[in-house]
Amino acid sequence: MDNAEELRKAKIQRMEDAAAVKVPDRIPIGIATSYFPAKYAGVSYEEMWYDNNKYIEVGAKFCRDFNWDAVSFHRSFESVPIGLALASFDADLAILVAVNSVLGGGASHDILADVYSSNPGREVGKNIESQWVIKKPVMNDDEWDFLIEKPFDFMTETILPRAYKNLADKSSPTAIGSLIKFGMEVGKFPGFLMEMAGKLKEEAWLPYYYAVAPNPLDFIGAFYRDFDVLSLDLYRHPEKVKKACEGLAPVLAAVGKMTGKISLDVTGSRRVFCPIWYNTYLSPEKFKEFHFPYIKQIVNELVEAGFTPLMSFQGRSDHLLEIYKELPAGKVIMWFDKTDVVKAREVLGDKYCIAGGVPCSLLISGTPEKVKSHTEKLINNMKSGGTFIVSTEFNGMGDAKVENVKAMTETVMNYGKY
Amino acid sequence: MDEISEAIKELEEQKVLKLVKERLDAGEDPIKILEACRFGMAEIGKDAGDTIFLTDLIMAGEIFNEAMALLMPKLVGSSTTNLGKVVIGTVEGDIHNIGKDIAINFLKAEGFEVVDLGVDVPAQKFVDAVKEHNPPVVGMSGLLTLSIEPMKKSIDAIAAAGLRDKVKVIIGGERTDEEVCKHVGADAWVNDAIEGVKIIKAWVGGA
């Protein structure tokens, strides 16, 4: 692209203005999707997940053809626990491993044989989405005290050998060999990052996010206990759950700040992805007791350090909107899945940037006319009284029809101008 | 309200189990205890989405199953409420089970016999299960948007086997809506498992 740098700067400005509740030149469009761009480029989900060259090609093609203001082609998180376990040994290595986990694709899944992901072309078909389902808890019911007292030792001694089948016996050739292979893979990562950074500039490709700050309750649910078992823990061991969250919150805030710094250097974006899954499971009382205090702590630390938390409230949050008003106004983006954004605006008022509004179901099942009319109506409803980013549910538009995605994009570009 | 129903409604796990054990030991009719458990579950269902949320429903299901494990040996040979069969599964490609399992627990508590096909269920397996069990209702679950097309495929397969007019099909999951319901050709859609149980109950005339 000839004017890539100008275009990229304009996108950064548009997204920053929206986040800060300053009216931008146009309503931006920001989405996370891995599968739609793969399908659009004629590449299998398996290749998108495992072939870093294809991943960059697909991303670049998608950015050229759709020119969204921000887009992330999310992959997976399988090696995050290894990154965290290394924190007390070498912080830089730890963060390299953590970032590699988010951007490095499926290689670590194959090398370490984790129990978390079912990946395309491996446990599921080559054009089926990767899914994160733990078949049985990695952490046992009687291990809360160890987690609370020594979170890093717990990670290294208890979680790693169970989470990664190839590390089950730490002194075995399989484990040692797997760690060497994993190290070789991580060693390739800075090169990939450089190549990616070049491509981002060349194609005016601005990631929706590139950094991540998990929160404690979701982290425990995703990596240690599984969400249904953690639901029972909230009744059976409430105090232990809270203690464990207290211990993890500063560690995870540090992950957000360190990945945020890398992201700012590479992409120019201050956004840090804060995925929030468990909100949809919890009553307002339980959300306030077990989830929100630690989310707020992390968000406040990120904001203080100059980052913009991109809060991905997945599932449905309608019952929690009043509580979200405690988050710093004009400093966060509230990105909703199923929550009605018009209702969210009514409750949250004009001091927050809201993202969302186009359901993937419409992009999959609807027609271009329906998509256009929905997007126009959405823009009319959301254009005033705060700022807005057109988005869809997190990584949900794999099966969308190309003509519908084009209709959404064109409507935002033409109709979203201020 | 019966003390057991009340304790289930309040999600007091230990109290429920203690009461069930004590009353079984005292020789009370296990069917009466079962009915008290079911009543407590129905009371929870009434408040779902209002004051009761997913973690509460998961806990309620756990307590109900624990109580059932105590009751089952004593219920052998007894005749209990049976509202008929429901075949249920998470559709092909999707391996999530939580929504489906909540629905199953509450369907059982209402007195349905549930045929659980598990997760990642191919279309043909739904067809075979309908042929084998002849249920009035089939439930298809899926958390991710990737489940939309497999839901359509499964319903089309039931139709192609000439069975569509014999069953009502309900789809459930976070990303289903009216648009999806029409697209896949289901009879009803829900985002919430308890709402699904209510619809199924109304269909079979149990409401």
Interface contact A364-B145, CB threshold 8 A: yes
Query: Quick check: is A155 in a domain?
Result: yes
Q: How far is B151 from chain A (nearest CA, A)?
A: 13
| Residue B151 pLDDT exceeds 70 | yes
Low-confidence residues of chain A: pLDDT under 50 = none
Kindly report the backbone phi and psi dihedral angles of residue A387, in degrees, each rounded to the nearest multiple of 5, phi listed first. -110, 165
Query: Quick check: is A348 in a domain?
Result: no
Query: Pick the catalytic residue: B2, B56, B96, B133?
Result: B96
Distance CA A16, CA A24 (A): 9
Q: Are the C-beta atoms of residues B104 and B88 closer than 8 Å to each other?
A: yes
Q: What ranges in B76-207 are assigned the alpha helix state H?
A: 98-110, 123-133, 148-160, 178-184, 193-203
Q: Mean pLDDT over residues B75-104, rounded?
A: 89
Domains of chain B: 3-75 (1.10.1240.10), 84-203 (3.40.50.280)
Would you state the pLDDT for residue A84?
Answer: 87
What is the average pLDDT score of chain B? 93
Distance CA A384, CA A96 (A): 41
> Phi/psi zone of residue B116: left (φ > 0), alpha (ψ -120 to 50 degrees), beta?
beta
Helices A238-267 & A173-202 angle (0-180, nearest 10): 50
Distance CA A90, CA A57 (A): 33
A360 touches chain B (CB under 8 A): yes
Query: Quick check: is A97 in a domain?
Result: yes
Q: How far is A281 from chain B (nearest CA, A)?
A: 4
∠ CA A107-A110-A111, rounded to 5° = 85
Would you state the pLDDT for residue B146?
Answer: 85
Contacting A with CB below 8 Å, chain B residues are 11, 13, 51-56, 58-59, 62, 93-98, 101, 120, 144-146, 148-149, 174-177, 179-180, 182-183, 191
Would you state the pLDDT for residue B144?
Answer: 84
Q: How confident is the model at residue B51 (pLDDT cuts 50, 70, 90)?
A: confident
∠ CA A82-A83-A86, rounded to 5° = 85
* Residues spanned by the domain of A127: 78-205
Query: Quick check: is A106 in a domain?
Result: yes
Q: Tell me the chain B residues in contact with residue A398 when contact means C-beta distances shorter than 8 Å.
A: 145-146
Q: In terms of Cα–Cα distance, which of A256, A13, A339 is closest to B191?
A: A339
Let me know if B133 is a catalytic residue: no
Query: Pick the catalytic residue: B5, B101, B116, B147?
Result: B147
Q: How confident is the model at residue B206 (pLDDT cuts 50, 70, 90)?
A: low
What total of structural domains would you count in chain A? 1
**ipTM of this predicted structure:** 0.91
Q: pTM for this structure?
A: 0.92
Give the burial class of A253: count Cβ atoms within 10 A of its Cβ; 0-12 exposed, 13-18 middle, 19 or more buried: buried
Q: In terms of Cα–Cα distance, which of A130, A148, A272, A125 is closest to A211?
A: A272
Torsion from C-alpha of A224, A333, A392, A206, nearest 10 degrees:
-100
Query: Quick check: is A370 in a domain?
Result: no
Nearest CB among B53, B62, B148 relative to A283 is that of B53
A333 touches chain B (CB under 8 A): no
Q: Mean pLDDT over residues B64-93, rounded?
A: 90
Window from A196-200, B47-51, B92-96, B189-193 with minimum mean pLDDT: B47-51
Query: Quick check: is A65 in a domain?
Result: no
Interface contact B93-A129, CB threshold 8 A: yes
Q: How far is B180 from chain A (nearest CA, A)?
A: 6
| Residue B207 pLDDT exceeds 60 | no
Query: Quick check: is A115 in a domain?
Result: yes
A29 DSSP assignment: B
Distance CA A79, CA A97 (A): 7
Would you state the pLDDT for residue A29?
Answer: 98
Would you state the pLDDT for residue A91?
Answer: 86
